[in-house]
Chain A
Amino acid sequence: MTTRPFSDVVYHQFLAEEKLMGSRCNHCHARYVPPRPLCPRCLRGDLEWEEANGRGRLVAFTCIAVAPPFMAAQGYGRKKPYVVGVVELEGGGRVDARIEGVDPQRPEDIRIGMPLKVKFLHLRDVEPPASYLAFEPL
């Protein structure tokens, strides 16, 4: 069992290793993805890392046509919108993620509730290299 701190930094390091990891409370057994330094129910730090199975469903989404600088730098914007959403994970936890494999030009066709599976995006030509959480239709 790993003893890395239950921090956002480590959460993102795990994403770079293509693992979607959360914290499991050893007291009440609730799981949080992303991890939390204390279980918010028990306010205890008696936690362990647990890998999510990577499946979930879409609970909300948007297609963004006016992109923030780091997405604009990857060519996204008015001519090339992208989809981001909120995904509820099997086994507990909600994550914000890019949604791939759907048509950003046809948002009216994207269905809330659709089953999704995890996918990891790696940007190697930025400094420092960054990994992002994404999902695509199951």
Chain B
Amino acid sequence: MNKRKLGRGVTIVGAGMTRFGLFKDRDSKDLFAEAFTEMLGSVDRGVDPAEVEALYIGNFSNDYFARQSHWAPLIADVIGLCPKAATRTEGACASSALAFREGVFAIASGFYDLVIVGGVEDMSKRTTEEVAEGLALAAAPYESRAGFTFPGVFGAVATAYFDRYGARREHLMDITIKSHRNAPLNPKAQFPFTIRDAMQAKAESLRKRGQPVPDWKDEKDFLRDPGVNPMVAWPLYLYDCCPISDGASCLLLAAEPIARRFTDDPIHVIGIGQGSGRGFHGSSDLTTFEATRHAAQEAYAMAGLAPRDIQFAEVHDCFSIAELIHIEDLGFFKPGEGYKAVSDGQTRLDGPKPINTSGGLKCKGHPVGATGTSQLYEVWTQLRGQAGARQIPQADLRFGAAHNLGGTGGTSTFTILERR
């Protein structure tokens, strides 16, 4: 493996995002404007927007969801960037991680000093069936044609994982319960409630309608109830799946030599990796994503770090099983050991390796193109000690990482950030 490096250091000096959710009266321009405004306010010493030299914007499928292509100049106009360069990147659910990489490369090459990278997706203006059809555009064509949906692809991955390692549906519930425990602590989350909160709310609504309230004895018992948690694609149920969301996120990247003009606490980009993967027809092992393994190897080699050095991470939990696969592919746990670690509480906020402190895609929401930079927003926030109620209790956080997966494993990125 080549040990890649950047031509010069790149830092994150500002970050902003909308809350994720369903915003029927706002489109991508409006959402990005909000993320941009929050980002400007996050720059400790302020930034003159006129200094920003370029925009890289990730977007998967507004062409389909919003019937409008060519978003880069539209977004550039909203944030006062025209006539400067604006470029859209597409990598399915990893679209804005690719925008981030382009921004990093542009600064590392010496071409620009200060750029905005971000992502946006506007999904709520279509029906659920249309959104599902739109998302399936990112699967491998043989999969869609056979009748696989997106949840179906990950359901099949789960059956392969269960068969090989002996995990069960209950282990996936541990991931859902953990993510929902973090979500109420994140003001940006689409679903800011615990599974216990959902249980009480369901009981309350049944009582109001004069219907019998089942006697759920704990969270897993609640999740086993098909009345509240129906099957989507075996062995995945509703609570294993991330929602449909609108949202935007963005970061301000600065060349290391000028970073301290903006803040005393820039966050350094020390490892970046990206990989590509084949669909089911080209994969000999369905319990791993080759694209993630490649991306992780690149990023670790560049940073000179090992998985144990990463203190916490955001990973692409589009489905509960995906989180399990990723924490193994990223080397945090051995293959087949991830589910045991999750059930032991090792990935909880107060555990030794917190995963998805934001609530993850499951609870924070997944406006496809906005997800990659929103994960980096979370890592940036945690490293700077600004995560409030969800701040990781470990003292002296130094290394955090974000993993973003596009499609059914077609594109994967891994980014390691450092606070110095």
A binds B: yes
Cα A81 to Cα B152 in complex, Å, equals 12
88-129 of chain A: CB within 8 A of chain B: 93-98, 107, 112-113
Q: Does B105 contact A (CB under 8 A)?
A: no
B146 touches A62 (CB 8 A): no
Q: Which A-chain residue is minimally distant from B287 (CB atoms)? A: A60
Which listed residue, B133, B158, B280, touches A68 by the CB 8 Å rule?
B133
Cα A36 to Cα B117 in complex, Å, equals 36
Which listed residue, A63, A76, A85, A96, touches B142 by the CB 8 Å rule?
A96
Q: Does B216 contact A (CB under 8 A)?
A: no
Mask, A56-70, CB within 8 Å of B = 1, is 000111111111111
Tally of contact residues, A, Cβ under 8 A: 36
Residues of A within 8 A of B279 (CB): 96
Q: Does B282 contact A (CB under 8 A)?
A: yes
A96 touches B159 (CB 8 A): no
Residues of B within 8 A of A62 (CB): 148, 151-153, 155-156, 158-159, 233-236
Residues of A within 8 A of B158 (CB): 62
Which listed residue, B132, B156, B231, B284, touches A85 by the CB 8 Å rule?
B156
Residues of B within 8 A of A84 (CB): 146-148, 152, 156
A66 touches B151 (CB 8 A): yes
Most buried by A among B159, B280, B286: B159
- Give the contact-size bracket for chain B: 35 or more
Interface contact tally, CB-CB below 8 A? 111
A60 touches B159 (CB 8 A): yes
Q: Does A86 contact B (CB under 8 A)?
A: yes
Q: Does A137 contact B (CB under 8 A)?
A: no
B156 touches A86 (CB 8 A): yes
Most buried by B among A33, A61, A132: A61
B149 touches A68 (CB 8 A): yes
Q: Does A133 contact B (CB under 8 A)?
A: yes
Cα A133 to Cα B145 in complex, Å, equals 9
B132 touches A65 (CB 8 A): no
Cα A72 to Cα B155 in complex, Å, equals 19
**Shortest Cβ gap from A104 to chain B (Å):** 8
Q: Does B136 contact A (CB under 8 A)?
A: yes
Cα A60 to Cα B159 in complex, Å, equals 6
Q: Does A78 contact B (CB under 8 A)?
A: yes
Residues of B within 8 A of A98 (CB): 146-147
Residues of B within 8 A of A5 (CB): none
A64 touches B149 (CB 8 A): yes
B286 touches A65 (CB 8 A): no
Q: Does A49 contact B (CB under 8 A)?
A: no
Most buried by B among A40, A72, A94: A94
A66 touches B157 (CB 8 A): no
Cα A59 to Cα B283 in complex, Å, equals 11
Cα A8 to Cα B279 in complex, Å, equals 15
A59 touches B160 (CB 8 A): yes
Residues of B within 8 A of A60 (CB): 156-157, 159-160, 280, 286
Q: Which B-chain residue is minimally distant from A104 (CB atoms)? A: B234
Which positions in B face A, CB cutoff 8 Å? 129, 132-133, 136, 140-149, 151-153, 155-160, 163, 230-236, 279-284, 286
